[in-house]
Structure 1
Amino acid sequence: MANNLQSIGRPGGRLRPLLLTTLYFTQTDDVASFVPPKRAVMSPSHIKAIRSGGFGFDFDGDTAEIVDYGGVNDRSRSLDYSDRRSFLSSLFASSLLGVTAPSPAFAAKGAAEYDLEYYMRDLFMGNKREGNLPVSNAPPPHPPRKLQGRLLPLLLDDDLQSCIPILELARISRIPISTLSEQIRAVRSKAQSAFKTSHPWEDELVRDEYYFDLTCYALWRTASSVISQDYVQRDLFVRNMGRRLLNEMMTFLSKKTTDTLQSTNGPSLTDTVPCVIEILNIFQSSNYCSSYRLGDKNDDERTGLNVFDSLDDEEISSQDGGGGSVDCLVSIFDPATLGGALQINGEGSRFAPDFIGPTLAAVWERVGVDGAVGVSFESYFVDPVYRPNPKDFFPNERLYQFTITRK
């Protein structure tokens, strides 16, 4: 019988005939059927697998049938299990008796197997509320990149005196720059020993990716204390930082980009795409990130230069009806602020280091006549690898979702 129960719903695998060795069936002619025990979870979809000359399972609604196509002539008797625990205990007893067929090591566990494992562990050892698997070791960190170019001193400087985040924080909090710098250094000093364990820098300079990350963490932690719980002021700090950063970048952006962004009537959405790509290229060439993606990875026709089209321009510029909106996805891979942003996020705050989000928002704020559109954005951390342990989360991507709305 076991030899006939191969690969039902699992290519290349073997179905364990655990069910057949435990349950008894009422057989009429060539069909044996049983009613699942109470509270048993059946698949909502209609699953049918029939093997010529063997057995097939037919799950439909609340009844499961085993159809004999190979000549089962023995009549069986039926048992009605009223309790799921008894049912699972029977399965466990059968497995102890060695009646189950081994499956390949690479075969994925099914829902019933996970269910059985949970009940057996709960019966003998108990299940911890936070889960029974420990967190796995994180992948080894890559060697720190060296940030460079004209963008770096705008983002951070070693003296913490002239970079844009410090200047904007001093302006909005009305605290002297020297005082803010001392507070940032104090926070950085307290966090650096723990931070270096997972992000080992080579030089204590902001050009070192991991030391840059640590300093950004300390700066945003300081900002959260001096702009405490004032979310309007925090948003204003981030927005003004992005606008000021864009204005400073105008000095080394191409003439075509500056002309587009400074046009009297404002650019259209499609006009801004080359500008956004040039700005992202500058961030990448400065080693702020390893790469980026403009648009949805699942839509090849709406990525890169084609992320917006004429219909999007009409949606934003049309004066008919209510305010239209257009969404855009931007992925930044291995950003230099990733570690600090994850740490602050883990501490329960979303006020985390970010330069690209505010800068791109400042670009799209220039669409149309001054003040014609509003731009909002959210960011998410993405781990591209499936990990069976739910506690394992090792992202390398920061995904932004921008919404550009006509006012």
Structure 2
Amino acid sequence: MPVLNRIASYAEEMKGWRRHLHMHPELGFECHRTAAWITERLREIGVDEIHEGIAKTGIVALIRGRTEGPVIGLRADMDALPIEELTGAPHASTVKGRMHACGHDGHVTMLLGAAKYLAETRNFAGTVALIFQPAEEDGGGGQVMVQEGIMDRFGIGQVYGIHNAPNIPFGHFQTTPGPLMASVDTAVVKVTGRGGHGATPHECVDPVVAIVGMVQAVQTIIPRNVHALDEAVISVTMIHAGTASNIIPEEGFFAATIRCFKPDVRELLKKRFHEIVEGHAAAYGVKAEINYDGGYPATINHEDEAEFAAEVAREVSGADAVDARANREMGSEDFSYMLEARPGAYLFLGTGPGAGLHHPAYDFNDEAAPIGASFFARLVERAQPVV
């Protein structure tokens, strides 16, 4: 079964929705205008209930089917990124320094398209909970929505989400049971020594040398402490110290992103990072302050739900266009909190060639929206059929 004919007929309307959202990006939890616009569309669509103000600007809308039954959750994130857009598109961002560089405008559009179809046809049992979430990029809006009780409040029994994927063949789906995306932690280390003249290093305690030693040493954690079959990444992404070539600075800092899939590996990485930095601080005679911030957990698909989602994807895109055992990746997603709270699965939908996610030239491929909407709609009809 290809794209549902009814949803295909919404294609131009969906394109208009998506491009409006693209022109008016908002960040983090401050998605006030976006949420208001989504609420207007939901009222036009004719959903049964709209619950606003969850996680500040999040929305949960309910559509009831023809008979009693369980509740299935479908999630779309709606926040943008602090990036200056370079697409040159007629629908480019109208807000300086902000753009939808990750396709959340497309995610909202796919979910609204599915909502319109489901509200018209009601060819399912139970209830659909449409989850529009702020602050995926920064702030963990998914975690906040779970903490504010959406799963229990609305009786959600299982939950699903899609992320667009540029440079995966158009219309192809990818997912896998178990870990799909990594956990992410951020470490920032401030190193304080004793500054002075570059000509008299013996009178100083040089934080630059200490930072260089720490950075080199933390790169030994993965090859020497983590099992070779347990994927992990430590990338030092910032080093800042000094103001002039003839001054040994008083302090400096470095920062790293740390990613893996297993909780025990995550704890090992944290432990060894602290041990190495603290040991080197003692060896170099400097003070090291470590701010180790635990971020999103790994996104772990539930096995049965991942297989079911892949079956539905095959109906929409064809068997050859679905990889149900795709390679996992080191990016992270706060949909992970929803999968910790309920069974479910997360999938990638290929949007074809183009600039990558988080790139200033990225733009969501509008032709993919009816495919994602059809997937969501068939997922509901298959998961909760009218008996």
Q: TM-score range by the shorter chain?
A: under 0.3
The two structures have a TM-score, normalised by structure 1, of 0.22
The two structures have a TM-score, normalised by structure 2, of 0.23
Structure ID, larger Rg: 1
Question: Which one has a larger percent strand, Structure 1 or Structure 2?
Answer: 2
